[in-house]
Structure 1
Amino acid sequence: MNQPMNTLKQRLTQAGIALNEPSSTAPLESPWFVRVLQAFSGWLAALFLLGFIATAVVFVLESSVASLVVGSLLIGGAFALLRAARSDVLEHMALAFSLAGQLLVAWPAVEMWGISASLWWVLLALQCALALIMPSQVHRSMSAFLASLALTMALAVNGLAPVAIGLVVLVLTLLWLNECRWPGRIGAVQAWGAGLLVGLLVLQGQAYSNQLAWLYDSGAQWFGPWLASWLSTALVALALVCVILQAFRQHSQPAIAQRLAIYGAVALVAVVSVYMPGLGAGVTVLLLGFTIGHRVLMGSGILLLLMAASSYYYWLDVTLLMKSLMLLAMGALLLSIRWLLKRWWLNQWLTVHKPAPLGDANEQ
């Protein structure tokens, strides 16, 4: 009797399941307002320290080599501080040091290339490298956010600023869909996704508020504005297809007619998104959050849809009646897609959980 029990215990132990371990209480986390206060304290201390350093080594701005060396030292010091940081104060202090170092590193690049595409591509590469190597979730999110801005500025030089939004949506979708593929990097993937999500919201808000109109109306050197808009829409549609394919993997494959209807709806959303910028991004982020069960993504998708609808409603190139009819048609389309998906999932659930006939039950 004891031998089978010992064998079972050995098998569970080999599988990594611990038995008869003393119960231990999980460490208590600080409330959010305490962490915010600690972050503010870290930034305040870092700013005072950086101000003291700036008064002592102000000459570094006069030399590109000195600026590059001091900036690299600040970034290296921030990396070492983040490796040893065990509190929010030190983490945010290191983030402030890193941002100051990045500014000093960027200063020689500005003097060499000016405000050109080469400058923004170099800054994009720098932010991608920092997002990969920095051992901090906050820093990775900040680097991903700054990378989205640098990508937009780099593409804006050639009149391709709208394409940046499509690229951000596609990378954001691929990151969140493959979140669990690398168990050891889940935290990093979540940090990158959060930074890109904030970047997407900022880019869409700037596009709607028209504060950076030169990014979208500049003379294109490679493509016309309409072609850049179509390319951005195609990237967003590709991201939406990836979300739908992931939903199909989580459930059984629908029939061919249902799949054609869903892909037709994706094509219709893509076409309408050309005339209502931001609609495809909002639908993609909303469905992405629903697919992986992420409430922040779902809320961000709803916010993007509201921003797109409000911006389109105040577009002066189309009459109010036409815009109202377009919004009515889009609302009816989305509700129809929701009804079809619910009906399909209900049929699939009934097929899987179909009760056994009474005759078979009596024989058993």
Structure 2
Amino acid sequence: MTNNVNDLSVRLSQAGIPLNEPTSPAQLQTPWFVRALQAFSGWLAALFLLGFIAMGVVFVVESPAASMGLGLAMISAAYGLFRRARSDVLEHLALAISLAGQLLVAWALVEWWEASPDSLWALLGWSLFGLQCVLALIMPSQVHRGFSAFAASLALYMALATSAMAAVASGLVLLAITLLWLNEFRWPGRFKDVQAWGYGLLLGLLVIQWLAHSGQALPLLNDMTDSAWAGLTPWLSVALLALALLLVFLSVFQRFSSSRGRWAAYPCAAALLIVSLYVPSVGQGVVVMSLGFAIGHRVLVGAGVLSLLLGIGSYYYWLESTLLLKSLTLLVIGGLLLLLRWALRQWLSTPVATSDDGSLDHDA
């Protein structure tokens, strides 16, 4: 066994693959409850510090320029603290300072654009979206990157909701999630950054779906607004969903080149897109769940299942019919899906025959 290991090491070295033998034992990771206590200590220290600062600069909130200047200064201070942070206490202290600075920036923007209330939310949404995108790229903290990605998705939803294009925001976030997780290992140096962005956008997608289901009607069953883009919103959302689903298919087909699988996938995708015209969350949940299966990511699979259940549950309560008809509708849809699954498994399974010499003959 030792000789085989040595031979493998020699062959890897000859191939130009360096082997780094550990010279010291691996360091033990800090337990999660200790890190949670350190995070709590950081937030507690940040609250006392911000409270002390607020007592002396109450006049800042009365001046948009002062609020903007102090907010940018606090974000810069948080950036410098992140660069030097070596513990969870300092990291969460910097995060709290950065959030306070972002609130001051948002307050300054609201005060500046208060004179034009019609476009206030759109301008505020686009401004915060740009700010969060910049912070997600430059902040040297995985926690802050994830939070900024989450806040950017909500700001995008707020900006597009003013023009009746809220469904497009979820489609754009879904496409960004698909691109990030499919290219998770493409940039080894930014591996943790990509994960932070992916988790933040995933949480943002779930929150956007919850906001869409909290009281609004289905896109094709109500008069949304008089916006010129209102009629195109469902189609744009389905187009983004189709693009994300196509990227997942291409990633899977590169590893499993089965002609039967391709012929089965595209009709199922077409049926899913038709359903997504009426219930967008169903298609988004299926895409996230398929993406999780494609890359072997359990968190994505769980988030896709949660999104799918949220979409189906909302659709159940949105149907303007009796409870009996709703139950029968879901029963028929579930039966058809189970029948489709059984038919696909029967069609995609490769028959195995035995030849005359007793060996197995696989029929391609």
- Contact map agreement 1:206 1:212 (CA 8 A) in 2: no
Change (3 A) 1:154 1:208: same
Aligned counterparts of 1:340 and 1:87: Cα–Cα separation in 2: 55
In structure 2, C-alpha distance between the alignment counterparts of 1:316 and 1:345, rounded to whole Å: 35
Q: Could you say what secondary structure the match of 1:144 adopts?
A: helix
Q: 1:322 to 1:267 in 2, by over 3 A?
A: farther
Of 292, 296, 299, the residue aligned with 2:299 is 296
1:52 offset after TM fit, Å? Answer: 0.5
Q: Equivalent residue for 1:227? A: 232
Instruction: Give the structure 2 partner of residue 69 of structure 1.
Output: 69
Distance, in Å, in 2 between the alignment partners of 1:67 and 1:342 is: 61
CA–CA distance in structure 1, aligned partners of residues 226 and 189 of structure 2: 43
1:149 is aligned to 2:150 = no
Question: What is the letter of the counterpart of residue 269 of structure 1?
Answer: L
Give 1:137 deviation, angstroms.
Answer: 0.8
Q: Tell me the CA shift for residue 123 of structure 1.
A: 0.8
Structure 1 CA distance, aligned partners of 2:199 and 2:313?
Answer: 25
Contact 2:292-2:301 at 8 Å conserved across structures? yes
Asked if the contact 1:159/1:222 (under 8 Å) is kept, the reply is no
* TM-score, L = length of structure 2: 0.85
**Kindly tell me: are residues 344 and 51 of structure 1, through their superposed partners in 2, closer, same or farther at Cα, counting changes over 3 Å?**
farther
Q: What's the CA shift for 1:58? A: 1.7
Which residue identity is paired with 1:64? P
Distance in 1 separating the partners of 2:225 and 2:59: 39
1:264 and 2:267 correspond = yes
- Aligned pairs for 1:107-126 (under 5 A) are 107-114=107-114, 115-126=120-131
Per-residue deviation at 1:322?
Answer: 4.5
Match of 1:237 in 2: 242
User: Where do residues 19-38 of structure 1 align in structure 2 (5 Å cutoff)?
Assistant: 21-38=21-38
Q: What's the offset of the Cα at 1:24?
A: 2.9
C-alpha spacing 1:331/1:25, structure 2 compared with 1 (3 Å): farther
Q: Which residue number in structure 2 is paired with residue 42 of structure 1?
A: 42
Q: Which residue of 1 aligns with 2:85?
A: 85
* Contact 1:160–1:220 (CA under 8 A) maintained in structure 2: no
Question: Structure 1 residues 254 and 328, CA, compared in 2 at 3 Å: closer, same or farther?
Answer: farther
Report how far residue 160 of structure 1 moved.
0.8
Aligned-partner residue type, residue 59 of structure 1? F
Select between 264-273 and 22-31 the one with higher mean Cα deviation: 22-31
Aligned to 2:313: 310
Cα 1:74–1:342, aligned 2, differ >3 Å: closer, same or farther? farther
> 2:264–2:344: 8 Å Cα contact kept in structure 1?
no
**Cα distance change of structure 1 residues 144 and 22 upon mapping to structure 2, 3 Å threshold:** closer
Give the equivalent residue in structure 2 for 1:203.
208
Q: Does structure 1 retain, via aligned residues, the 8 Å contact 2:217–2:318?
A: no
Question: Residue 117 of structure 1: SS of its match in structure 2?
Answer: helix
Answer with 177-186 or 30-39: which moved more: 30-39
C-alpha spacing 1:55/1:304, structure 2 compared with 1 (3 Å): same
Query: Separation in 1 of the partners of 2:217 and 2:88?
Result: 34
> Between the two proteins, what is the percent identity of the paired residues?
56
Partner SS, residue 314 of structure 1: helix
Amino acid at match of 1:292: I
The one-letter amino acid paired with 1:245 is L
Matched, 1:18 2:23: no
- Measured at CA, do residues 10 and 288 of structure 1 come closer, stay the same or move farther in structure 2, by a change above 3 Å? closer
Is residue 248–residue 254 contact of structure 1 (8 Å, CA) maintained in 2? no
Determine the C-alpha separation between the residues in 2 that align with 1:247 and 1:9.
35
Match of 2:282 in 1: 279
- Does structure 2 retain, via aligned residues, the 8 Å contact 1:38–1:88? yes
The alpha carbon displacement at 1:9 in A equals: 5.1
| Structure 2 counterpart SS, 1:169 | helix
- How far did 1:306 drift? 1.3
4+ residue segments displaced more than 4 Å? 8-11, 336-346
- Equivalenced residues, count: 347
Following superposition, the deviation at residue 337 of structure 1 comes to 5.6
Write the deviation string for residues 14-45 of structure 1: whole angstroms up to 9, x where unpaired. 824236x4553222112222222221211111
Q: Secondary structure at the match of 2:350?
A: helix
Aligned to 2:51: 51
Amino acid at match of 1:142: F
Change (3 A) 1:338 1:135: farther
Q: Deviations over 1:156-194 (max 9, x none)?
A: 111111211111111111111111111111111110010
2-structure distance, mates of 1:245, 1:10: 34
Tell me the CA shift for residue 13 of structure 1: 7.5
Residues 48 and 241 (structure 1), Cα distance of their counterparts in 2 relative to 1, 3 Å cut = same
Identify unmatched segments of 5+ residues in structure 1: 360-364
What are the equivalent positions in structure 2 for 1:304-343 lying under 5 Å apart?
304-335=307-338, 338-339=341-342
**How far did residue 152 of structure 1 move?**
0.5
Give the superposition deviation at 1:235: 1.4
Instruction: Assess, with a 3 A threshold, how the Cα gap between structure 1 residues 296 and 217 changes in structure 2: closer, same or farther.
Output: farther
